[in-house]
Amino acid sequence: MEHNVSLITTLAAGFGLALVLGFCAERLKIPALVGYLLAGIAIGPSTPGFVADLAIASQLSEIGVMLLMFGVGLHFSLNDLLAVRRIALPGAVVQMGIATLLGMGLAMGWGWTAGQGLVFGLSLSCASTVVLLKALESRRALDTMNGRIAVGWLVVEDLATVLVLVLLPPLAGMLGGRGAPAADGEALWRTLAQTLLQVAAFVAIMLLAGRRVLPWLLWQVSRTGSRELFTLSVVAAAISIAYGAAVLFGVSFALGAFFAGMVMRESEFSHRAAHESLPLRDAFAVLFFVAVGMLFDPRVLVDEPLRVLAVVAIIIVGKSIAAAGLVLALRYPLNTALTVAASLGQIGEFSFILAGMGLSLGLLPAEGMSLVLAGALISIALNPFVFAAIAPFSRWVLQRSALARRLEGRDDPYAELPMSTERRYLEGQVVLVGYGRVGRRIADALRERDIPFVVAEQHRELVEDLRRGGTAAVSGDATDPAVLIQAHVADAAMLVVTTPDTLSVRKMVETARLLNPPIEVVVRTYSADESELLRQEQVGTVFFGDEELAKGMMAHVLQRFDRRPAT
């Protein structure tokens, strides 16, 4: 009895080879994503040996795109973006424009049309959020100022790319693709207006109705106590909304899934939804990258090596120089410019989605898709080495260039308290390090009781907002003694550190005790072991989150039973 097992064969070959090559890539200190793409190349039609079913792989990759974009929506934080908006928004838009023009100019030099060059340039302009997050996490730089700026920059790029994905199909005809040709300007504007109205209707329904329906649905499912049903409800919501958006509103699967995740983030179940759906999202994301690799023709490396080198040069050199120049123009230090430049020196998932759409619309030749894939493979493989080169390159250029030293040591307008600061904020005040969720609540309590305090925060934009609101604040990393000096810790009554990193806490406490031996210190930790270690070192009063939660619940329970009359 014969069976059609092409689906099972494709899954087995894709997952098995992706596991082997992904493992090898990680052992070589290269992102596993490179291994997944190589697995797709190995089972693709352009290489000898076994060839997987490309049609089935393409459909599986569509599911991968939906779940990948759903995950991006689940982690999209408007607050994080607003915190770095003054650098991320103009920087990302201008940098994408420069990269698009470079890619467009290169493509038109090869004899491609303007429409093909535009799609090609846009595909080279957007970096991979997945690759960036992994690079920052491996270096413990995700929560640093530089890391947050880089992530915010890429969030803006993602949003801009989502907008391109919406507008590209109705513009395909005008750009020379397989869309309905626009007869005149009026017809084009009518098509664009209709598309934007459909998208606006979908977004409105998701923001108004989705915020109520999805949390209610998840609550009803969670009441059953079934983990399987909860996971199923999350995945079903993501795929169903993406499919409904495409059928009813003409919106891409990617955009529908993105808004499904974004709306679900508003629910109190967002963390559980992200956790429960993560294995399935990761599995189908692997299939997406494998399917993309199957489209790659390795012969382009032999037939067009100069074109491949030109593409890689735009991605790693052109984009990085543009990003670094923009960061320096916005008066940020050289180290921040180098970190952002390294973060953007690669392309990934959005480039594949955009190039794939361009290919399907007839706006990108098959060679263009291969060049985009070649650029992605090479840039992702080199990205860890680019990050590793930041520190030695910075030391080298600082030793040899007076200009670099001026750029690194440039004055931050918010690094010092204004001369007009009242005396009550300079003596006997509280120095509050960090203005996140915990720091903000402490600051609110201090304001209510009219207790003077000075905030030390890495985000310059946040410091600017605090000063506009009348709060004394200084910008910079509080592990640098100069920051605490500017916060007048030498005359402060108390140092409150809301950042949980133990190493940073020690440096801050050492500086504070050196300048002000009797100062009272209050710190927080995320780990029981760290809290015990800090207490043994007598750094001050230590608060551990789980411990304080247990104390609060215990106090409530004991208070309830203390009210019972004695028997």
What DSSP string describes 370-389? HHHHHHHHHHHHHHHHHHHT
Dig out the tokens for 240 from the structure.
């169903």
Q: Are residues 189 and 270 in the same domain?
A: yes
Residue 267 DSSP class: S
368, 387, 403 — which closes off a domain?
A: 368
Q: With a cut of 90, say whether residue 210 has pLDDT above it.
A: no
Q: Are residues 225 and 335 in the same domain?
A: yes
Q: Are residues 344 and 444 in the same domain?
A: no
**What is the per-residue pLDDT for 357?**
86
pLDDT level of residue 2 (50, 70, 90 thresholds): very low
Residue 256 lies in a domain: yes
Q: Are residues 113 and 245 in the same domain?
A: yes
Q: Are residues 131 and 205 in the same domain?
A: yes
Specify whether the CB–CB gap between 134 and 104 falls below 8 A.
Answer: no
Tell me which residue of 284, 310, 321, 323 sits closest to 374, measured CA to CA: 310
Using DSSP, state whether 431 is helix, strand or coil: strand
Average pLDDT over residues 557-561: 83
Q: Are residues 502 and 361 in the same domain?
A: no
Sheet containing 541-544: which strands, arranged edge to edge?
473-475, 453-457, 430-433, 494-497, 520-525, 541-544
Average pLDDT over residues 438-464: 88
**What is the per-residue pLDDT for 32?**
82
Residue 16 lies in a domain: no
Residue 388 lies in a domain: no
Q: Are residues 459 and 328 in the same domain?
A: no
Strands 541-544 and 494-497: unpaired
pLDDT level of residue 191 (50, 70, 90 thresholds): low
Query: What gap in Å lies between CA 22 and CA 478, rounded to an integer?
Result: 39
**What is the per-residue pLDDT for 457?**
87
Query: What gap in Å lies between CA 152 and CA 92, rounded to an integer?
Result: 9
CATH number of the domain within which 284 lies: 1.20.1530
Specify whether the CB–CB gap between 527 and 546 falls below 8 A.
Answer: no
Q: With a cut of 80, say whether residue 207 has pLDDT above it.
A: no
Q: With a cut of 80, say whether residue 380 has pLDDT above it.
A: yes
* Domain coverage including residue 510: 423-562
Q: How many domains does the chain have?
A: 2
Q: Are residues 338 and 437 in the same domain?
A: no
Q: With a cut of 90, say whether residue 453 has pLDDT above it.
A: yes
**Residue range 152-165, pLDDT digits in tens:** 788 788 778 877 88
**What is the per-residue pLDDT for 148?**
76
Q: Are residues 249 and 132 in the same domain?
A: yes
Specify whether the CB–CB gap between 430 and 452 falls below 8 A.
Answer: yes
Residue 15 lies in a domain: no
**What is the per-residue pLDDT for 20?**
94
More confident residue, 550 or 158: 550
**What is the per-residue pLDDT for 123?**
93
Please list the residues that pair with 457 across neighbouring strands.
475
346, 368, 390 — which closes off a domain?
A: 368
Residue 9 lies in a domain: no
Q: With a cut of 90, say whether residue 231 has pLDDT above it.
A: no
User: Which residues, including other chains, have CB under 8 Å from residue 148's CB and lie 6 or more apart?
Assistant: 80, 83, 84, 142, 458, 459
**What is the per-residue pLDDT for 199?**
76
More confident residue, 535 or 269: 535
User: Which residues, including other chains, have CB under 8 Å from residue 83's CB and lie 6 or more apart?
Assistant: 148, 152, 459, 461, 462
**What is the per-residue pLDDT for 385?**
84
**Residue range 506-546, pLDDT digits in tens:** 888 889 999 999 999 998 887 777 777 778 888 888 888 77
**What is the per-residue pLDDT for 52?**
85
Residue 479 lies in a domain: yes
**Residue range 469-480, pLDDT digits in tens:** 889 999 888 888
Q: With a cut of 80, say whether residue 567 has pLDDT above it.
A: no
Average pLDDT over residues 561-567: 60
Tell me the backbone φ, ψ of residue 433, rounded to 5 degrees: -95, 115
CATH number of the domain within which 465 lies: 3.40.50.720
Tell me the C-alpha to C-alpha distance, in Å, between residue 299 and each of 296, 310, 511: 9, 16, 59
**What is the per-residue pLDDT for 316?**
93
AA letter at 116: Q
Residue 102 lies in a domain: yes
Of 105-109, 114-118, 128-132, 409-413, the poorest mean pLDDT is in 409-413
Query: What gap in Å lies between CA 143 and CA 135, rounded to an integer?
Result: 12
Tell me which residue of 407, 283, 255 sits closest to 18, measured CA to CA: 283
Q: Are residues 431 and 540 in the same domain?
A: yes
Q: Are residues 145 and 214 in the same domain?
A: yes
Q: With a cut of 60, say whether residue 218 has pLDDT above it.
A: yes
Residue 52 lies in a domain: no
**What is the per-residue pLDDT for 266?**
64
Angle of the 6-27 helix axis to the 54-75 helix axis, nearest 10:
50
More confident residue, 3 or 484: 484
